[in-house]
Structure formats: structure tokens, C-alpha cells
Amino acid sequence: MTTQAKHDVFQALADPTRRSMLQLLAEKEMSIAEITDNYPISRTAVNKHLHILSTSGLVHSRKIGRETRFILTAEPLMEIQDYLLFFEHYWDDKLAALKKFTEEDS
């Protein structure tokens, strides 16, 4: 039995083309043909990117007749937000220390 590997959200977002596709799909549901019209790459390449976005849970697809349409699924982005929030207090501490340092020299 072959189990399809699930792509990591961070891995999916590592590629600028996939990040751009997410921005497109945040605006509206689109077919592969509509998405392909926005990029200088082949439909096959677009399909591969969409597959990675889909297996990471970042996009959802549905069949309408012979057409497959895709749309952003934002919930997996919470993993990124949670990761960044974890480090936010470190930045706050560093910026506060920098502010204190610069004000002491004045």
C-alpha cells in the first residue's frame, strides 16, 4: 500500500511561486488554466505546485464538471503564526535592550 507523504506547511511556503499562488487563491477560487495564465511556467509545473500546496493543506480543490478548481485554505497558516509568535518575545526583549542602550549613550 502506498501512502502519499504530507508536505510540511513551511516546505510548501518556501517556494516564491507557491506563495504567489496562495495570494491568487486567497482572492477567489480558480481553475488550473486560470492559475497557469498568471505564470510563465507550464501547466504541469503549476499542477506540481498545486499538489504540494494541496498535500500541505493550504489549498482545497473541487471538481466542477471536467474542471478542477482550487481555493486557499488558511487554517494551516496558523502553524506559521504560532511559530512566529513563539519568537516574538525574543524580538521584543532585544528591541527594548537596543532602545535602552541607545538612550544611555545619548
In this predicted structure, the answer to whether residue 87 has a pLDDT above a threshold of 50 is: yes
In this predicted structure, the answer to whether residue 2 has a pLDDT above a threshold of 50 is: no
State whether residue 40 is helix, strand or coil.
coil
User: How many CB atoms are closer than 10 A to CB 70?
Assistant: 23
In this predicted structure, the answer to whether residue 54 has a pLDDT above a threshold of 60 is: yes
Q: What is the pLDDT of residue 105?
A: 62
pLDDT category at 32 given cuts 50, 70, 90 is very high
CA 40/CA 1 separation, integer angstroms = 37
In this predicted structure, the answer to whether residue 52 has a pLDDT above a threshold of 70 is: yes
Q: What percent of the chain has pLDDT over 90?
A: 66
Kindly indicate whether the domain formed by 1-74 is annotated with CATH number 1.10.10.10: yes
